[in-house]
Each structure stands twice: as C-alpha cells, then as structure tokens.
Structure 1
C-alpha cells in the first residue's frame, strides 16, 4: 500500500485510499464558483482551509462558512452534513476546502462548527509541544467521523511518543484508520513522518510537503516539523468506536515523564 499521496490523487475527486469508511478530497473554488453533490450513504464534514463560502442543502442553508485566509490565520469553520444530503457550495471568496467523507447509516443533524466551538489543547512538552484544534470530537453527533487539526512548530515533534490505534481494545485503544493532510507555512518546507509496526512488517519514513497526504492504516506514526517551517495537518479518522484512544510505543513512552515546560510558541493559532 502506498502511504504517501500527492495532490493529484484527491484534488477535485474523492479518494478512499483502500479504507473501509473514509474518503477525502480537496477542492479549490474561485470566487463565484460552485460545487454540487449528493451524499449517498455518506456523512461529510466540510473544513474550510481558507476562504469563505455559502452552502445550501437539503439539511439546511448556511450563508457564511469560513473566515480565515489560510490554516495559519485562525481557528476553523466547518460544516457537518448527514448522509444522503443534497448540497451546493458556492465560493464567496477564493476557497481552499477539505471534504472529509465517511460511510454512514445513521442520520444526525447538520451543524455549522464555528471557531468558538473548536476546543484547543496544548499537548506534549519541550520540543514535542503542539496544538490540537478539535473539530469533530468523539462526543459530536456523527456516526463515525472524527476530525481535528494539529499545529507543530518549527523543529518540534508531533504525534509523540509514537502511538497507534489499530486494535479494538477499549477503553485503552480502538481501531481507527487515519489520514494526515499537510499544509506548510512557507514555500519549500517539509515534515518527516514515520509509520511503523512493532514487528517490522511496516516501516516507512516519508518526506511530506505542502498539500500532500499520508495514510495510516496501522502502526505507530510520529511526525517531525522541518526546522524553520511550521507544520499543519488535518486528521480524519474513523473506525471501531467513537474514541481516539491510542497506545504508546512502549520503547518511547518514558519521554512523557521528562516533559516539564511547554514550548512558548504554542498555540501557534489563536
């Protein structure tokens, strides 16, 4: 399985990457342009990466969704739409939009997720400090989708200690498929992501650039931001339970005990 995907795989079309439930697309709409779709058997969260749009749908109309220019300019607006919704997105300004789909059988209300609703968590410590903005947490009224965005300052580690969520063993761990969709704050920037299993069946180290994506079907998956470049990634998850429970790699879990101070650069986005 190819874990590293370039934009042509998911720009203007939804790709499922071989996952059971998740599919994902990025669409860039010029001001005045529209996109229409019927969500047959899928729930959807539209995450505004940049720009402002209006959305009309069979589940309700939303006149203004989005207000940040890029992911580095503020907390997100997003819109959850239930399965079988017929909807149209119309760009008010030039827009950069992530479409996070998931197979569904249960119906939940549409909901405009505003920046005030997105809880911010500062996780880790030292040069493993990062910012997590929650968009669709486990308590959100959706069937399978779970979504957050993560900001990792220049030179810091993220998703650390390395953790995994590929076994259904609640409450300590649940089985989740996951994508990491990356944005970098300066041209030429990059992140490094490793995806590996304890038995060595999977062991890949990937250089990821702006607009690229890494899929995590199993295993541990830490990230490092290149020095000089702040790194954003959008996490989309779905699996065996509405939980983000994960287990640390036991070889590296000890680092938690040595975290004291938080990196003062975090939160990167307020």
Structure 2
C-alpha cells in the first residue's frame, strides 16, 4: 500500500474513538497535523496545545467546545457531510487547552499547524463560511472555505471542504504548491480526509512531481486520508458516487499560490 494512503486505525478510548492520528511525528510532514475522532453522546475529549494551533471542525453531530472562558454550546449543523451545507468550527491558538463534549453522537476533525503568534479563540459560524463553485464541464466542485488564506484568524492553518460529483475531477487541472517562490507559488503541505457516498465507493488520487521521483496513484475508500508532502495531487470520482474531502494545509507562510501542471493547463482555455 502507498505510504501516502492511510486507512482508518480506530483506537477506542472510553466514549471517544480515534479514527486517524497523523501528527508530524507520525508522517513525513513538517507543518500539518490531522486527527479524526468519533464521540458517543456525552463523550469528552481534552487537549493541551503547546506550539500548535488547532481548528476544530464539527464534521457531523453536535458538540460543545470550551476554551477558558469561551464556551460554544451545541455547535454543528449536519448529521452527514453529504447534506452539503457548511458546519461550525472553532479555532484555538497555541498555548491554550480545550475540551470537546458531544451533545449527540459526533465526528470531529482536528486540524493542526504551527502556532506562529497568539490569537483569539474564535467560533467560525457555519453562516460565515464562504461557499464557492469552481470549474466547468467534468471539472466541477463545491468548496466550503472554513479558514482560507484571506481570513486572519489563524497564523498557519488553511482548512477547506470540497464536494465533487461522480464523473468529475477536482484539484484539477493538476496543481502543486511545493516551492517557496512567491508570488508565483507557495510551499504548503496538505492532507486529504475523504468520505464517499455511498460508502462502498472509491475514487482515485494521484500524487506526482515533475521529475516523477514521487508518483503514486491510489484507490481511496471511505474515511481514508491521503498525505501530500509535495507534487501535483488530482482527484477523480467514478460515476454514481459523490466525493467529500477535508483539506488541511500549512507551510512557512500562510498563503495559497499554486502552480498548474503545464501539460494539462490547456483545459482551462476551453470555450
């Protein structure tokens, strides 16, 4: 199996199941960490942040997030990500601790990156999440911008959700962001957490560099994670299935500037 493809590795901790735990010590990534947890109703998860900031995404179900004097009660807007509406998130800066309590059964994504400066804890309300439609022909997708690079709430983190219908590609034409050469391209590592509807489906994701020193094509299944340390990283979704993925990005500078694969950039000029 590809070293970039990570299957769910469920570890039960009382009323909390850790589905994925991909911190920098577990991967070849230097900037991005990712954790996915399932909580039973009334389940509780606590963390202390030291040198990392965290975006807590209420993927499904309702949760209460507490950080110091900040209490965000019963946040979360959906029972399935495939309701295709934005959800609530909470940003917590480095040096702080937080508690997540499940009001209902819930799935929560924890997205990490280096904390470069102290920032205010913030509830990112669902109604404040920008919804964007990108692409045309067989290159259509819908994006929920939870923490885009024009949002100053975070010092390192970038977080988005992407929906791609069957028969379409996303992260396409293939693009990369693995060189620090602004203003043309920024260096950002990335993780993809995937869900597929119906769950028995699969999709394909390729990660490759110009010199092909990295070139892997993966059959991705429901709840898999793909790690993108470098290179182009397109996603193709078979007919009949809908793809959801949650992207976490971070690097030395918090700006998203990508470079398209010149062999395939021509598709953008189609009438």
Structure 2 CA distance, aligned partners of 1:151 and 1:59?
Answer: 35
Residue of structure 2 aligned with 1:63, choices 73, 94, 106: 73
| Shift in alpha-carbon separation, 1:126–1:12, aligned structure 2, 3 A | closer
Residue 89 (structure 2) pairs with residue 78 (structure 1): yes
Q: Distance between the aligned counterparts of 1:216 and 1:78, measured in 2?
A: 23
Partner of 2:57: 47
**8 Å CA contact retained: 1:5, 1:214:** yes
- C-alpha distance in structure 2 between counterparts of 1:139 and 1:110, whole Å: 17
Alignment of 1:171 with 2:183, yes or no, is yes
Contact 1:51 1:66 in 2 (8 A): yes
Structure number with higher strand proportion: 2
Q: Tell me the distance in 2 between the aligned counterparts of 1:187 and 1:105.
A: 38
| 1:241 and 2:249 matched | no
Deviation at 1:14, TM superposition (A): 4.8
Seen in structure 2, the aligned counterparts of structure 1 residues 59 and 193 have a Cα distance that, compared at 3 Å, is: farther
The CA distance in 2 between the partners of 1:49 and 1:191, in whole Å, is 21
The CA distance in 2 between the partners of 1:121 and 1:32, in whole Å, is 34
Structure 1 residues 132-163: Cα deviation after superposition (integer angstroms, max 9, x where no partner): 11000112221100010100001110011000
Contact 1:59–1:85 (8 Å) recurs in 2: no
Is the 1:59–1:110 Cα contact (8 Å) retained in structure 2? no
Q: Distance in 2 between matches of 1:117 and 1:192?
A: 31
d(CA) in 1 for partners of 2:184 and 2:203?
29
> Partner residue of 2:235?
223
Contact residue 42 and residue 102 of structure 1 kept, 8 A: yes
Runs of 4+ in 1 over 6 A off after TM superposition: none
Partner of 1:149: 161
Secondary structure at 1:152's aligned position in 2?
strand
Mapped partners of 1:58, 1:180: distance in 2: 30
Worse overlay, 112-121 or 2-11: 2-11
Q: Are 2:236 and 1:189 equivalent residues in the alignment?
A: no
**For 1:72, what is the secondary structure of its paired residue?**
helix
Contact map agreement 1:59 1:109 (CA 8 A) in 2: no
Matches within 5 A, 1:87-166: 87-140=98-151, 141-166=153-178
User: Shift of residue 30 of structure 1?
Assistant: 0.4
Structure 1 segments unaligned to the other structure (5+ residues): 261-270
The one-character-per-residue Cα deviations of 1:78-100 (angstroms, maximum 9, x if unpaired) are: 11011111111100000011000
